[in-house]
Amino acid sequence: MSDNKNNLIYILNGPNLNLLGTREVDIYGETTLADLQEISSAKASECGYACDFRQTNTEGELVDWIQEGGRSAAGIIINAAAYTHTSVAIHDAIAAIDVPVIEVHLSNIFAREDYRHHSFVSDVSAGVICGFGANGYKLAVTALADLLQQGS
Ligand code: CA2
């Protein structure tokens, strides 16, 4: 399958998610970022999509990748991590693209500290999946694939 815009999804991960599986396992589980990539790619491939899976600790790089996804991908899944709760720049980047975006979080952000209850990503996303751990990435891929099928 070729990696054209029609069958490529971006999965973008924000700061500190590279540490998954090494600490805070009580909150985020033992799954590593590499595991998440494998799980997501397998599900994407089942749904007929290729998956470009990335992580960065830098806000501006996430903004660049969202813009790039808007040009090169059929849709985007994003776990903006802590930038979810702080970044107007990420909000604006998502608002400026025409492909669907799904927000995902490993933990249930609404069952945690008050400062995690607001997301700058949610209102510019097609939907939000949180609290299901690594399975949330699979759910997000399925939801995005369904959304893309409906739209085509
Ligand atoms: O639940 C999620 O997926 C979060 O996006 C994770 C972010 C957090 O700031 C959000 O509120 C919810 C934190 C990612 C940091 O991940 C770590 C993993 C292991 C050790 C330390 C941090």
Query: For the segment 17-29, what is each residue's pLDDT rounded down to a tens digit?
Result: 999 999 999 999 8
Whether residue 66 lies inside any domain: the answer is yes
Question: To the nearest 5 percent, what fractions of the chain are helix, strand and coil?
Answer: 50, 15, 35
pLDDT in tens, 50-69: 999 999 999 999 999 999 99
- Residue 1 banded pLDDT, cuts 50, 70, 90: very low
10 included as an active-site residue: no
28 included as an active-site residue: yes
Whether residue 140 lies inside any domain: the answer is yes
Whether residue 2 lies inside any domain: the answer is no
For residue 3, pLDDT beyond 70? no
State if residue 90 touches ligand 1 by the CB under 6 angstroms criterion: no
Whether residue 19 lies inside any domain: the answer is yes
How remote is the CA of residue 16 from the centroid of ligand 1, in Å?
7
pLDDT in tens, 87-112: 999 999 999 999 999 999 999 999 99
Q: Count structural domains, the chain.
A: 1
Q: What is the pTM of this model?
A: 0.96
Return the DSSP state at 125: S
Domain that holds residue 116: 8-150
